[in-house]
Chain A
Amino acid sequence: MPLTAEPPAATSAPPGADGPETLRVVPVRHPWRWAAVAVTAVLLAQFVHGLATNPAWEWAVFAQYVTAPAVLHAVGTTLRLTAYGTALGFALGIVLAFLRLSASPFLRAVAHGYVWVFRSVPLIVQLLFWFNLAYLYRRIDLGVPFGPGFFSFPTTDLVGAMGAAVLGLALHQAAYAAEIVRGGVLAVDAGQREAAAALGIPRLRQLRRIVLPQAMRAIAPNAANEVISLFKGTSIVSVMAIGELFYQVQVIYGRTGRVVPLLMVATVWYLLLTGALSVLQHHVERHFAKGATR
């Protein structure tokens, strides 16, 4: 018994003998690919079935808390921490990136030092430092360097727990942002700056209009990674008793003992919001890809 059927006419007639329009294209078959799809589909179905039927997941408890006001408020706090951390972190990061690209060896070294320190110290250690800042410096004076002060605040007024958290996240983020921005700027062809300079375009405008938009092609994917990891990283500030998502979930399961469904509440929010950030990333990347392809 033949294993495969002979393709009709393929051997008896030379190719093209009865005109090319009668020849049919038969695509290559991929039996192993189909086998892999079948196995994966079965595993996925088992997993979903387990999620739905295992009572330990306590979906009723999940449903009760996932949109509870306390949880929504905590989601808001997490988003605020992410937004401030990103905005301040990247603002400082851009400044640091250009210091590292400056002609002055001193400025370059300072920026380099900053990046070294803030990439080295674990975020949680930094956060605890800032949280305890009030013990380090009781008062903050504004005035002449090394000279008399004009204004003076008790440190705790200025740096509350939320302030300390934002400060820590932003300073940490700035070190990474600086490297990402610097890499993006270096990726832009030097001829672009030169052409802009030859046209007499003012320096800041060269950066804003010519260099940075092109650098964004390289910056955007890495920056999105950073924002997403900062977004999850905000869960670390739960050690400072700030009511962000993870802290709030811990408070609730501490009270009710329903650990798994509440971790699931946090997980689902992290998933949803990271998904939203990915959609945003897609649009940002498309915006800066203008003119990149034919």
Chain B
Amino acid sequence: MSPQPAMVEVRAVHKSFGPLDVLKGVDLRVAAGEVTVVIGPSGSGKSTLLRTLNHLEKVDSGTVAVDGTLIGYRRSGDRLYELREREILRQRTRIGFVFQDFHLFPHLTVVENLTEAPVSALGRSRKAATATALALLDRVGLADKADAYPRQLSGGQQQRVAIARALALEPKLLLFDEPTSALDPELVGEVLDVIKDLARRGTTMIVVTHEIGFAREVADTVVFMADGRIVEQGPPGQLLDAPREARTRAFLAKVL
């Protein structure tokens, strides 16, 4: 048992797309302030699991709770009532999501990308939101790009903007879906450096990645998924160097 209270509590989550069972009963607990890295073969359900955590994907059964609050549903007795879209949107402001392909808003400047959600979803003043945005851009090393448009930036810079955009809502939890997979190799480092800096500051994060070196360096817990299930999890030293399960060993033999 972790001494920290759970930031994320996933219980018996099932999810299928038509006939395809993608998540076959996933349980996961992430303590506050910890970094969890999820690895596993392509198609094992890593992205789907991550997307259920902020209800971008609905679960078929099971529950997801973040910071003690059920995501997407309200419980009353033994029933779960689906929340209205407006309430789900409110819940999402507490959970940052960073996509593989950045998904920055191309028609807005970098600083407008960062202020849009704080202003429209949290009702912050534009002035306060801009001040926060500039401070965040400084933190990810892009203070001079505030008025650029996303397409004028390199991939690594765009992903750092996307991270800053997620941080602008001051989320309790940050989710990363392969944040460096769309990047040229020489740009991977600058994005991982930003994520490492967040880890040092005690941000609770779940990172899906194929960067095993990063997992070893930053993760408190590494989770290995295969075929819609969590096969094994543990501290990086144990899971990466002395895996108990044969499937984990087979996967690591391929990627290391």
- Which residues of A pack against B, CB within 8 Å? 189, 191-192, 194-203, 205, 209-210, 213-214, 288, 290-294
A201 in contact with B117 given A191-B101, A294-B152 (CB within 8 Å):
yes
| B151 A202 Cβ-Cβ under 8 A | no
Query: Contacts of A199 on B, CB cut-off 8 Å?
Result: 92-93, 97, 116-117, 121, 165-166, 169
Q: Can you offer 22 A-B residue contacts whose CB atoms are under 8 A?
A: A191-B101, A195-B97, A195-B103, A195-B105, A197-B56, A197-B89, A198-B56, A199-B93, A199-B117, A199-B121, A199-B166, A199-B169, A200-B91, A201-B120, A205-B120, A213-B107, A290-B149, A291-B106, A291-B109, A292-B106, A294-B151, A294-B152
Closest CB pairs A-B (n = 7): A291-B149, A195-B103, A200-B93, A199-B117, A200-B92, A198-B97, A200-B121
- Give Cα A213–Cα B152 distance, bound, in whole angstroms: 19
Chain B, 197-228, contact with A by CB distance < 8 Å: what is the 0/1 string? 00000000000000000000000000000000
B119 to chain A, nearest CB (A): 9
Query: Contacts of A292 on B, CB cut-off 8 Å?
Result: 106-107, 151
| B103 A194 Cβ-Cβ under 8 A | yes
| B56 A214 Cβ-Cβ under 8 A | no
A209 in contact with B120 given A194-B56, A200-B90 (CB within 8 Å):
yes
B50 to chain A, nearest CB (A): 11
- Give Cα A203–Cα B152 distance, bound, in whole angstroms: 28
| B89 A191 Cβ-Cβ under 8 A | no
A98 to chain B, nearest CB (A): 15
Closest to B118 in A: A199
Pick from A197, A209, A288, A293: contact of B151, CB under 8 Å = A293
Closest to B153 in A: A294
Whether a CB of chain A sits under 8 angstroms from the CB of B73 is no
Pick from A200, A288, A294: contact of B89, CB under 8 Å = A200
| B116 A209 Cβ-Cβ under 8 A | yes
Whether a CB of chain A sits under 8 angstroms from the CB of B186 is no
- Give Cα A293–Cα B97 distance, bound, in whole angstroms: 26
Query: Contacts of A210 on B, CB cut-off 8 Å?
Result: 105, 116
B111 to chain A, nearest CB (A): 13
Interface size class of B (residues with CB under 8 A): 20 to 34
Query: Contacts of B117 on A, CB cut-off 8 Å?
Result: 199-201
Of B89, B121, B150, most buried by chain A (CB within 10 Å of CB) is B89
Kindly list 16 other residue pairs between chains A and B, CB separation below 8 angstroms, not including A202-B89, A203-B86, A291-B150: A191-B99, A191-B101, A194-B56, A196-B105, A199-B165, A199-B166, A200-B91, A202-B86, A202-B120, A203-B89, A205-B120, A209-B120, A210-B105, A213-B107, A290-B107, A294-B151
A198 in contact with B152 given A209-B116, A213-B107 (CB within 8 Å):
no
Of A197, A203, A292, A293, most buried by chain B (CB within 10 Å of CB) is A197
Closest to A291 in B: B149
A283 to chain B, nearest CB (A): 16
A184 to chain B, nearest CB (A): 13
B241 to chain A, nearest CB (A): 35
Whether a CB of chain A sits under 8 angstroms from the CB of B108 is yes
- Give Cα A213–Cα B93 distance, bound, in whole angstroms: 23
A200 to chain B, nearest CB (A): 4
Closest to B106 in A: A291
Closest to B94 in A: A200
| A203 B85 Cβ-Cβ under 8 A | yes
Of A195, A196, A199, most buried by chain B (CB within 10 Å of CB) is A199
Of B97, B99, B105, B151, most buried by chain A (CB within 10 Å of CB) is B105
| A198 B150 Cβ-Cβ under 8 A | no
Query: Contacts of A191 on B, CB cut-off 8 Å?
Result: 99, 101, 103
- Give Cα A214–Cα B116 distance, bound, in whole angstroms: 15
Report B92-137 residues with CB < 8 Å from chain A CB.
92-93, 97, 99, 101, 103-109, 116-117, 120-121
Query: Contacts of A202 on B, CB cut-off 8 Å?
Result: 86, 89, 120-121
A5 to chain B, nearest CB (A): 50
Query: Contacts of B93 on A, CB cut-off 8 Å?
Result: 199-200
- Give Cα A247–Cα B106 distance, bound, in whole angstroms: 47
- Give Cα A200–Cα B168 distance, bound, in whole angstroms: 12
